[in-house]
Structure 1
Amino acid sequence: MKYNYFYVLILLLLFISCAKKIDSTSDESYQTSIENLKKSLSDEEKIKFEESLQKIALENVESLADLSNAEKFIEDVRTKLDGMSYEDVIKEGERIQKIIDEKNREQAKLEIEELYEKMDSSTKDVLFEVRLFY
């Protein structure tokens, strides 16, 4: 019985190690590995994969100035993606999306607070004018 678990473990490790991964060692290997990975995906998975790739690529871009050195930008993205499988890319894209969603929520809260402050001050101004009138 112990041997059965051992064989199952070995097969599982072989399966995991054979998963298609992104290879960023060269331009050609990078393109080929991305294309090969996409070939094994359904249309829906391809869309999720490409969206996640975009999120990963643009994660640290704050302005167009960050893209001024295209070679460095591309190299940084490839370094991030090197060795990632489909699942890794999707998980990273989801992690980044959670950060984006949290930032958007915080920004919305700030804008709502500012609107309430403006509303309070305008209400006070109207009440002041009404008191002066009477």
Structure 2
Amino acid sequence: MKTLISGPMRPRTGDLLLARVDRLGYQTRLELTSGRKASLHPGDEIILAYGDRYATDQFEAEVPPDLGPTNLVATGGVASRMLSRLKGMRAATGITPLGLIGDAQGAPLNLSQFAFLPQIPPPCGRASSSCSAPR
């Protein structure tokens, strides 16, 4: 995390962003990496990840086409544009992206860069020299 990238661009699912809380809606807290939930207040600056969401008991939302005002649609830290919500539910919390979080080269950081992908050996019979399957 070395820079903040702003301007006209289309965010991608998993891109990290710094955003300002504009108005509280359904989400009044944000879950921290420790599992504890921290209260949100207008003016707070928070780090989130863009992502689509389809929760029939809450919101349907998609990654917006630009870095304009959008919503916090999950307390786990998902930023997305709310398309619809369950009848009677308060609107999602309103946020304004301040920019994408970038690396030292000015490229956006994306959650996919930090995924834990264990090395899984190929199944027997698929060019695996370490397979000792019975004949």
Q: Who wins on radius of gyration, i.e. which is larger?
A: 1
Q: TM-score, normalised by structure 1?
A: 0.29
Q: TM-score, normalised by structure 2?
A: 0.29
